[in-house]
A and B are shown apart, each in its own frame.
Chain A
Amino acid sequence: MIFSRTLLRQRSVLPGFDLALGFTIFYLSLLVLIPLSAAFIKTASMTWPAFVEAVASPRVVASYKLTFGSSLLAAVINAVFGLLVAWVLVRYEFFGKRIVDALVDLPFALPTAVAGITLTGLYATNGWIGQYLDLVGIKVSFTPLGVFIAMTFIGLPFVVRTVQPILEDLAKELEEASATLGATRLQTFHRVILPILTPALLTGFALAFARALGEYGSIIFIAGNMPMVSEITPLLIITKLEQYDYAGATAIAVVMLVMSFILLLTINLLQAWTRKRQGK
């Protein structure tokens, strides 16, 4: 009763608003909001120096740099190759295209632990890929480079899947008009197609970046986890938990949560921009 009287903008003949909204809020609070607030409440009980000590010690800062830097790099690579893959899947015909299209989602469906041990095996010095990289002196498994590889893998579908629908909807007339006006194919891509794709491309980039920041399962196998060198921030949270340093673990978690929330906000704004561009 209370919800329908206070919140509804328009009366509806459909029933169940109170029940459905009530249950939604109850379930959401119980399982998500209250547990998440526990992290902030726990951190609020820390003194400021203790908090700073927990979130800004050299080992933690090194982990931020690694996590942030690799996530950013992986997201950039995914933006470039994701755009390419989306383009190829929408515009060209080739053998096995449908299978390739379906397999792009593999990183979403494959459990992270499986991805972790598989990538580690592939890039080990005796692995299918690692043995050739070893010849030119590049080591991936158990180095920061491994972190980047795992992050690239798990972020791969985001850009493809955000750009693909926009590219499919793109009106051919725009490109024809551009060609008629004398633009080369490259100019058309650069000046006509790319600006239309930009919001979706940025959304996919931000999603891949956000996913990589929090990723744990696939990375810990391949990273080697050396403090100051190849230790990601989520792993530090686990390490502190195992040492029963709950406050320290939670403080780092809060820093990560705040970063995720900022990213979530950015992604929502980007998506609103995409929809506006699409005129929907």
Chain B
Amino acid sequence: MSAISPPLNAHAAPALQAPPHLKSATQEPAWVRYTLIGTALVFLTIFLFLPLASVFTEALRKGWQAYIEAIAEPDAISAIWLTLTAAVIAVPLNLVFGVAAAWTIAKFDFRGKNILLTLIDLPFSVSPVISGLIYVLVFGLQGWFGEWLRDHDWKVIFAVPGIVLATIFVTFPFVARELIPLMQAQGNEQEEAARVLGASGWQTFWKVTLPNVKWALLYGVILCNARAMGEFGAVSVVSGHIRGQTNTLPLHIEILYNEYQMAAAFAVASLLASLALVTLVLKYLVERQVAKEIAQAQADVH
């Protein structure tokens, strides 16, 4: 860059220091600033920091011994396994779907694109309870395939498949949503160049597209996984709450809580709260990377 070209971002240029007796025209007085910061922090303390702190305090109320016992108990272990199982099936499926949907929407111009986009977002606007209910209507005993499933001795509702289906539904849009804006911003030039140079479709995808979107992909997977492991409402409808068999971690928390085993409930809850914190840290790191890549892609286009 030549020395005379103006800085790309005018705000980043060092501002001229105003003499101290002059008020800045676009800066609020100090007392306003501190009041606003204070009010925001009080609000966030009540609604964010205190709840977070209290999960861990309550979890350790009866000491480490009780904490470890609550987590290592057989029902808790089986709940952990079921939660992991559901996530391990749901996340990769939604990942494949997200990539296919993003490839279609971001790389091609076709009729009905906006309708498709809206439909992909649909599961976010459906109440979790309804997400569970619709699978009961399809696979439940009174549902469309209920009798057929019973005759073949297959169980979907009140069994693991139902839990997996409900989990897929509530985490459906996460990966697609992260990929689409980035792939749209990146455009098609690199893929087209690869094709012209003789790469096959799959080679183009694996060697050009995928490396370009890997951070956004990871970001989508992180969000998808957090929701998959934490879903309560939808899973609650289809699970049947059979202890040791169809209880996921969130459902296990509910049972412990309703039995007034508060310390145990919060101990298990603290596992999920830790997962949430890890998710936030990863999200923060990856988000910066994705923002950089989108900015990069836009700068390349212009």
Which residues of A are at the interface with B, using a C-beta cutoff of 8 A? 3, 6-10, 12-17, 19-21, 23-25, 27-28, 31-36, 38-39, 42, 81, 84-85, 87-89, 92, 94, 100, 102-119, 121-122, 127-129, 152-153, 156, 172, 175-176, 179-180, 185, 188, 210, 213-217, 221, 234-235, 237-238, 241, 246, 249-250, 253, 256-257, 260-261, 263-264, 267-268
Contact B97 A27 (CB under 8 A): yes
Given the known interface contacts A32-B123, A238-B237, A241-B136, the answer about A85 and B54 at a Cβ–Cβ threshold of 8 Å is: no
Given the known interface contacts A112-B230, A153-B47, the answer about A31 and B37 at a Cβ–Cβ threshold of 8 Å is: no
Residues of B within 8 A of A214 (CB): 125-130
Contact B196 A13 (CB under 8 A): yes
Contact A246 B137 (CB under 8 A): yes
Residues of B within 8 A of A249 (CB): 133
4 pairs of A and B residues whose beta carbons are closest in the complex: A111-B230, A214-B127, A179-B25, A217-B232
Contact A180 B25 (CB under 8 A): yes
Contact A32 B119 (CB under 8 A): yes
Contact B54 A122 (CB under 8 A): yes
23 A-B pairs with CB atoms under 8 Å apart are A12-B107, A12-B109, A17-B110, A19-B100, A21-B108, A24-B101, A32-B119, A32-B122, A32-B169, A32-B172, A81-B40, A100-B41, A105-B283, A113-B269, A118-B54, A175-B26, A216-B236, A217-B128, A237-B129, A238-B237, A253-B133, A260-B127, A263-B125
Contact B233 A112 (CB under 8 A): yes
Given the known interface contacts A111-B230, A113-B250, the answer about A31 and B125 at a Cβ–Cβ threshold of 8 Å is: no
**Best-surrounded residue of A107, A118, A214, A237 (most CB of chain B within 10 A):** A118
Contact B36 A87 (CB under 8 A): yes
Given the known interface contacts A12-B188, A114-B269, the answer about A253 and B130 at a Cβ–Cβ threshold of 8 Å is: yes
Contact B50 A129 (CB under 8 A): yes
Given the known interface contacts A8-B108, A31-B172, A38-B143, the answer about A111 and B272 at a Cβ–Cβ threshold of 8 Å is: yes
* Interchain CB contact (< 8 A) of A257 among B110, B126, B237, B250: B126
Residues of B within 8 A of A117 (CB): 253, 257, 265-266, 269
Which residues of B are at the interface with A, using a C-beta cutoff of 8 A? 10-11, 25-26, 28, 32-33, 36-37, 39-41, 43-44, 46-52, 54-55, 58, 93, 96-97, 100-101, 103-104, 107-112, 116, 118-123, 125-130, 133-138, 140, 142-144, 165, 168-169, 172, 188, 191-192, 195-196, 201, 204-205, 223, 226, 229-233, 236-237, 249-251, 253-254, 257, 262, 265-266, 269, 272-273, 275-277, 279-281, 283-284
CB distance from A276 to the nearest CB of B (A): 15
Given the known interface contacts A103-B280, A117-B266, A261-B125, the answer about A110 and B108 at a Cβ–Cβ threshold of 8 Å is: no
Q: Which residue of B lies closest to A38 (CB)?
A: B137
Q: Which residue of B lies closest to A244 (CB)?
A: B142
Contact B40 A88 (CB under 8 A): yes
Given the known interface contacts A117-B257, A241-B136, the answer about A13 and B195 at a Cβ–Cβ threshold of 8 Å is: yes
Considering the chains assembled together, what is the distance between the CA atoms of A108 and B223 in angstroms?
9
Given the known interface contacts A92-B33, A109-B279, the answer about A31 and B165 at a Cβ–Cβ threshold of 8 Å is: yes
CB distance from B74 to the nearest CB of A (A): 20
**Best-surrounded residue of A31, A92, A260 (most CB of chain B within 10 A):** A31
Contact B109 A14 (CB under 8 A): no
Contact A238 B236 (CB under 8 A): yes
Considering the chains assembled together, what is the distance between the CA atoms of A84 and B36 in angstroms?
7
Residues of A within 8 A of B97 (CB): 23-24, 27-28
Considering the chains assembled together, what is the distance between the CA atoms of A179 and B237 in angstroms?
57
Contact B43 A81 (CB under 8 A): yes
Considering the chains assembled together, what is the distance between the CA atoms of A153 and B96 in angstroms?
32
Contact B46 A20 (CB under 8 A): no
Residues of A within 8 A of B279 (CB): 109
CB distance from A269 to the nearest CB of B (A): 11
Considering the chains assembled together, what is the distance between the CA atoms of A169 and B125 in angstroms?
28
Considering the chains assembled together, what is the distance between the CA atoms of A17 and B120 in angstroms?
17
CB distance from B1 to the nearest CB of A (A): 23
Contact A118 B51 (CB under 8 A): yes
Considering the chains assembled together, what is the distance between the CA atoms of A193 and B46 in angstroms?
28
Contact B104 A24 (CB under 8 A): yes
Q: Which residue of A lies closest to B234 (CB)?
A: A216
Residues of B within 8 A of A84 (CB): 36, 39-40, 43
Given the known interface contacts A81-B40, A113-B232, the answer about A264 and B121 at a Cβ–Cβ threshold of 8 Å is: yes
Q: Which residue of B lies closest to A179 (CB)?
A: B25
Considering the chains assembled together, what is the distance between the CA atoms of A217 and B235 in angstroms?
10
**Best-surrounded residue of A112, A176, A215 (most CB of chain B within 10 A):** A112
Q: A32-B119, A103-B280 are in contact. List 11 more A-B contacts (CB 8 A).
A: A7-B111, A10-B109, A15-B195, A24-B116, A92-B37, A100-B44, A102-B280, A103-B49, A110-B276, A214-B127, A238-B237
Residues of A within 8 A of B40 (CB): 81, 84-85, 87-89
Contact A241 B253 (CB under 8 A): no
Considering the chains assembled together, what is the distance between the CA atoms of A178 and B125 in angstroms?
40
* Interchain CB contact (< 8 A) of A35 among B93, B137, B196: B137
Q: Which residue of B lies closest to A263 (CB)?
A: B125
Q: Which residue of A lies closest to B256 (CB)?
A: A117
Contact A217 B233 (CB under 8 A): yes
Contact A28 B120 (CB under 8 A): yes
Q: Which residue of B lies closest to A10 (CB)?
A: B109
